[in-house]
Amino acid sequence: MKQRKGFTLVELMIVVLILGALAVIAIPRIVGGAATAKTNACSTNVDLINSQIELYYANEDSWPSDLTDVTGNTDYFPDGEPECPVDDTVYDGDYDTTKYRVVHSH
């Protein structure tokens, strides 16, 4: 009698169930990781802008009256004004002219 080589239906179903369980665990973590990365990038942009505001003050001996004085200047941002990857906005509306800082809530 010749023995067949291959997988039984039960073995294939077990493999499919294991792969499904791994997908249920992994997919939310991947999606959550992307959201966290965007939030961290937005926070890093705020820190970078605030550092450039300090540099503007050191160079000009005065604080910028408008954030675009810094973000629109290619000496400070040669690649253009940074945008928040969370909501695709620029930070102009978040500039506090009394503290000379960008405060972006994310």
Residue type, 101: R
Identify the pLDDT of residue 49: 94
**DSSP 8-class letter at 46:** H
Give the model confidence (pLDDT) of 57-77 as tens digits.
999 999 999 999 999 999 999
pLDDT for the residue numbered 52: 96
- Look at residue 20 in the predicted model and tell me its pLDDT: 93
Q: Exposure pattern of 16-44 as b/e (b: 16+ CB <10 Å)?
A: eeeeeeeeeeeeeeeeeeeeeeeeeebee
Quick check: 28 pLDDT over 80? yes
pLDDT score recorded for residue 60: 94
| pTM for this prediction | 0.70
| Residue 23 predicted with pLDDT over 80 | yes
Mean pLDDT for the chain overall: 88
pLDDT the model gives residue 56: 96
CA distances from 105 to 7, 43, 58, 78, 95 (A): 55, 9, 27, 25, 12
pLDDT of 33 > 80? The answer is: yes
- Give the model's pLDDT for residue 50: 95
